Amino acid sequence: MSEDAIKETRLLKQHLRSLVDQARQNEEKMRRFQAIELQLISAANLMELIETILYDYREAFHLDALTLMLVDPANEFERILKDDNIDPADHPDMLFSTTREEIQFLSNLSMFPTLGHYKKRVHTSLFPNTQPRPETIAILPLVRHGKVIGCMNLGSYQTDRFENGSATDFLERIAAIVAISLENTLNSERLKRTGLTDPLTRINNRRFFDQRLGEEVSRAHRNAEPLSCLFFDVDHFKRINDNYGHQAGDQVLAEVASLIAIQMRTSDVLSRYGGEEFSALLSNTEVGKAMEIAERIRINIQEHPFKLDKHTEINITLSIGVATLIPDGDQSGLKTYASWLVGYADRALLHAKETGRNQVKCAGIIHASTEQQFQGVVLPNMKLESSH
């Protein structure tokens, strides 16, 4: 065999090995992609989906940076996360935009992936917390029904990872899967909240409160933190309905809920318990702080003018009951502790109503470690502290 033939054979073998290696890499990439795709499709809730995108996808494809920007003009995504006791600030690579135009501008008005070099003056808003800045990036618009709902942004320190003109089949597919998963998850969260939200006041309902009560008591025991419960009742609410009509009564309830909600932290659970009663769970809040919050709410309601129409303005007051649970770490009696907490707060509220209304009454501290002591207590006769 001639020397030229030997060289040609050697080159062909090298080319074949290169093709085989490339095929193996593509096969491995497809395997990782299919695993991520399955995670995205099967995500049980919004946070699980976002974690798959931000963390699992980034790790699986060895990305140096990955951010997710969602179009959220009404803060719906943020509200859902906060309802689940998740602070978006804990996930700095999750970004929100109030307009689609911002994302369309950043992706050069394209509905398809945009690849190229990172430009500080253009792309800083997509990678605000990434240090050092990526060399090349891929912007993947997330599109549903012809509208941009967000963008997934990939970054690499390699200068040739995302070159303009590179094949984008994989990127287009992942963008489509992420967009569909986001839409489906959001619709599922909306449906779930339809059954857990009071339609009048737009806050959580009794069902949601009961569900979160167990979770919060369990959390308090795990973290050895106090948990306080507040019960609110609109004083003489029947008179409002009788004198001004049920529509005015509904207006008052919605406004009261809004005023209470302003005083709540994102980690607190505010609900309409039923009728003119509201309830709140204050995580990691000792009794003194709970009394302070309750009193501040009472004063705000008392001083707030409720305008029923152009010519009618009324004043509203609240009676409030407070109880605080001090956990002992024992997980076996959680249902009992939850029942105690609600029972004592409710009894304190009843005492506030029976002794003059427009005041805060405290049932004191429930020590989970002193079970026998509280089993023998008759609630109506317990010692109560007041604040007014």
Residue 125 CB-density burial (10 A; 0-12 exposed, 13-18 middle, 19+ buried): middle
In the structure encoding, which two tokens stand for residue 31, read together? 């395997």
CA distances from 264 to 24, 94, 123, 269 (A): 55, 24, 36, 8
The three-class DSSP label of residue 65 is strand
Count of CB atoms within 10 A of residue 89's CB?
Answer: 8
Task: Name the packing angle between helices 76-83 and 169-194 (round to 10°).
Answer: 60
Cβ-proximal residues to 318 (8 Å cutoff; 6+ apart), any chain = 232, 233, 234, 235, 256, 297, 298, 301, 302, 358
User: Which residues are designated catalytic?
Assistant: 276
Containing 71, the helix (H) or strand (E) segment is strand 65-71
C-alpha triplet 144, 146, 152: angle, nearest 5°:
50
Separation CA 382–CA 384 (nearest Å): 6
Separation CA 320–CA 104 (nearest Å): 50
By the 8 A CB rule, do 388 and 358 touch? yes
By the 8 A CB rule, do 262 and 224 touch? no
